[in-house]
Amino acid sequence: MAKSSFDSSRFFTTACNFEGSLILVAALLGWFAGINPFADLYFSEQALFYGIVGTVPLFIFFFALEQINIPSIRKIRSLLVDTLGSGLKTCHWTDIFFLAAIAGFSEELLFRGLIQPWIEASWGIAAGLIGSNIIFGLVHAVTPLYALLATLIGIYLGLAMDFGGERNLMTPMIIHGLYDFLAFLMIMKSFRRGSE
């Protein structure tokens, strides 16, 4: 197995700090753009329900990709296991849950809470949905296929913000966080299985 570029003992802290810094980036860019990224974030039982249920299709998609044995998918799987797996291998499930929650909150705040409405304000709803998620895909571009998959997942998350007829950022935050949590657990399990 390839040696990871991450130091396992510092991975959790570095990842949490990076993801947490995106909250500050969203707030500063929002101030600059005159957009409050928190404007559409509020607790509702409906958003909680949609968030939990909305995670299921994404996780089924992730699990299906785990079963596909083609070179481009194997490359993504190998990159994720080799880089994230070594960092996650010593983490307790509560640490992984915390990291996933921070990632779901901060990335959704930046991309769906700020960038999507920022683009929508100038070019309309469709442009906001597509444009913000092209950017989302590009920042997740570990491979070209992964960038495309991240773009499509981002579009799903952007649409999820409007599930139920009222815009609520809580829905994609829950989907993103729960999806990351389940994916991180599977990546960690794959890494441990490969290092036995």
pLDDT at 4: 45
Higher pLDDT, 108 or 196: 108
pLDDT at 89: 86
Task: State mean pLDDT over 10-15.
Answer: 90
pLDDT at 194: 77
Which DSSP string do the residues of the chain spell out, in sequence order?
-PPPSS-HHHHHHHHHHHHHHHHHHHHHHHHHHT--TTTT----HHHHHHHHHHHHHHHHHHHHHHH---HHHHHHHHHHIIIIIHHHTT--HHHHHHHHHHHHHHHHHHIIIIIHHHHHHHH-HHHHHHHHHHHHHHHT-SSHHHHHHHHHHHHHHHHHTTGGGS--THHHHHHHHHHHHHHHHHHHHHHHHHT-
The model's pTM is 0.92
